[in-house]
Structure 1
Amino acid sequence: MKATPKQQLALLEMQDCDTRLARLSYDSQHLPQNEQIMELRGKQDELTRTLAQSQAARNDAQRALKKLDSDIEKTTARLKVQQERQEAGLGDLRELNTRAEEIATLEKRISDLEEEHFDLESEVEQLEAGIAQTETSLSELSSQVSDLHEQRDNELADLKSQAQPLIDRRKAAMQVAGEELTREYDEIRKSTGGIGAVALHGRQVEGMTIQFSATEWERIRTAPVDELVCSDDFEWILVRIHDQDGNEVIA
């Protein structure tokens, strides 16, 4: 393919923009806030499960307390009736003895229920305290996540602002290179995973250590300046800047 020296230089401009844009894209996808947010969300999920379990246990204990209250009330009412009858001396000796035994049983039952009630109240208090602490922790985590989101958004906005001038530069270079050469460059860059064109100073590829065979170097050296030259091994477009003696090939 034929390409003027100016068009070939435009490829290097495009490559520089693409390399910088790729780095910005990588940075935007690997911001430290992303990992931190994921970690905090994991903690939020765990605490949310803990909160739900604690609330369910608290609700069960509160229902049990209500039942105990009812049982204590009914038993106390029964005890009062029996005590009043006993004090009034109603019934014969056998009835009085039987009632006395029932009164003792009711008093023991009330004592047991009150003890169970006390234990359940303590359990509810502990669960309530745990729920309050979990809710506080969740609130703090939510605040941290919000702060991280804000930091990430600011970072992304900064990266976007850095990207826009590069996008504009690339568009300008595309106009110089032309549609056909741009398409060739993009296809090569896609095939190689990011590199479409490199600068060649004599036999040295800028920023790399690459050895050319004698046959390939002869092909490169003798190609006209408006001939698009590609690497045999790497496919890249080799934009010749200087010849082997250091003279400018593309002015």
Structure 2
Amino acid sequence: MKADASRQWRLLDLAELDTRLDQITHRLRSSDEQRAVDAATRRRADIDTDLVLARTAVSDVDREVRRAEDEVQLVRDRLTRNQSRLDSGQGTAKDLQALQHEIASLQRRQSTLEDQELEVMERAEGHQATLDRLEARAAELEAELAETVSARDALVRTLEAEREQVTGRRGDVAGGVGEDLLALYTTIRESVGGVGAAALRQRRCEGCHMELNQVDLGRIRSAADDQVLRCEECRRILVRTPESGL
């Protein structure tokens, strides 16, 4: 293939722009900002799991508290009724004596139930304290997540704007390369990855960074200025420069 030197030099500009586009794509896919968002998202999800467990524990113990309160209240109500009957003095001596025994039994029962109620209430306070702590932490993590998302989105906007600008410049450069040379460049780029052309500097291909041997250098020296050359190692288009070392 033949292509004048200016068209071949444009390939180096094209390769530089393609390299930057590849860098932008990679940065968008795996930026520190995205990793920070992913980490914050995982921490937020973990705390959500803990919150579900903590809220369930609070709900369960609240039911225990209500049940304990109801049991204590039932005993208190019965004590009140029995005490009123005893204080009224109505009934036989045997009935009044039975009331006294029942009142004593109810008082013991009340004491036991109140101790149980206190224990349940203490557990309820502990579960509520845990829930409060987790909700506070969840709020912190939500703010952290919002901050990381904001930083990530700002980076994306910046990179997308640069990509649009570089893509526009690439179109201008590609237009001056010529369809045949551009087609070859594109085929090579798709085949080897990265860019499809590289400069020859100091007897080294800047695409694969391999130093050319004397046979290849001799072939390049004897080639016409408009001849499109290929690196024997990476098969990229090899563009001669004043620093080629020929």
| CA shift for structure 1 position 104 | 1.8
Change (3 A) 1:221 1:236: same
User: Which residue of the partner structure matches residue 226 of structure 2?
Assistant: 226
Structure 1 distance, partners of 2:60, 2:104, is 31
Shift of 1:34: 1.7
Partner Cα distance (1:81, 1:210) in 2: 103
Of 229-238 and 189-198, the range deviating more from structure 2: 189-198
Residue 96 of structure 1, CA deviation: 4.5
Secondary structure of 1:219's counterpart equals helix
Q: Give the 5 Å matches for 1:97-108.
A: 97-108=97-108
Quick check: 1:51–1:131 contact (8 Å CA) kept in 2? yes
Partner Cα distance (2:243, 2:128) in 1: 81
Question: Residue by residue, what CA displacement relative to the aligned partner does 1:83-127 show, whole Å, maximum 9, x if unpaired?
Answer: 33444262353x554443322221111111112222222222232
1:58-87: CA deviation from partner (whole Å, max 9, x where unpaired):
111111222222222222222233333444
The equivalent residue for 2:3 is 3
State the SS of the aligned residue for 1:224.
coil
SS of 1:233 mapped into structure 2: coil
1:62 is matched with: 62
Asked if structure 2 preserves the Cα contact closer than 8 Å seen for 1:2 and 1:228, the reply is yes
- For the residue of structure 1 that corresponds to 2:102, the secondary structure is helix
Which range moves more in the overlay, 212-221 or 59-68? Answer: 212-221
Q: Which moved more, 1:98-107 or 1:83-92?
A: 83-92
- Structure 2 residue 63 is the aligned partner of structure 1 residue 77: no
8 Å CA contact 2:205–2:211 kept in 1: the answer is: no
- From the superposition, tell whether residues 134 and 72 of structure 1 become closer, same or farther in structure 2 (CA, over 3 Å): same
Aligned to 1:90: 91
Q: 1:202 to 1:115 in 2, by over 3 A?
A: closer
Q: Percent identity?
A: 25
1:170 aligns with 170
Aligned to 2:112: 112
DSSP-derived class of the 2:154 partner = helix
Q: Structure 1 stretches of 5 or more lacking a match?
A: 247-251
**Residues 1-251 of structure 1 mapped to structure 2, 5 A cutoff:** 1-87=1-87, 88=89, 90-93=91-94, 95-201=95-201, 203-206=203-206, 209-242=209-242
Contact 1:202 1:240 survives alignment (8 Å): no
Q: Note closer, same or farther for the CA distance 1:59–1:223 as it changes in structure 2 (3 Å cut).
A: same
Whether the aligned pair in 2 keeps the contact of 1:221 and 1:243 (CA below 8 Å) is no
Indicate the RMSD between aligned Cα atoms, in angstroms.
2.4
Aligned residues: 245
CA contact (8 A) 2:40 2:148 kept: no
Q: SS in structure 2 opposite 1:177?
A: coil
CA distance, structure 2, for counterparts of residue 243 and residue 159 of structure 1:
33
1:113 to 1:153, Cα distance in 2 relative to 1, 3 A: same
**Aligned residue identity for 1:194:** G
> Hey, what's the Cα distance between the residues in 2 that align with 1:92 and 1:208?
113
Q: Give the structure-2-normalised TM-score.
A: 0.87
Q: Distance in 2 between matches of 1:85 and 1:124?
A: 37
Corresponding position of 1:249? none
**Partners of 2:197 and 2:207 in 1: CA distance:** 12
Kindly tell me: are residues 217 and 177 of structure 1, through their superposed partners in 2, closer, same or farther at Cα, counting changes over 3 Å?
same
TM-score of the two chains, using structure 1 as the length reference = 0.86
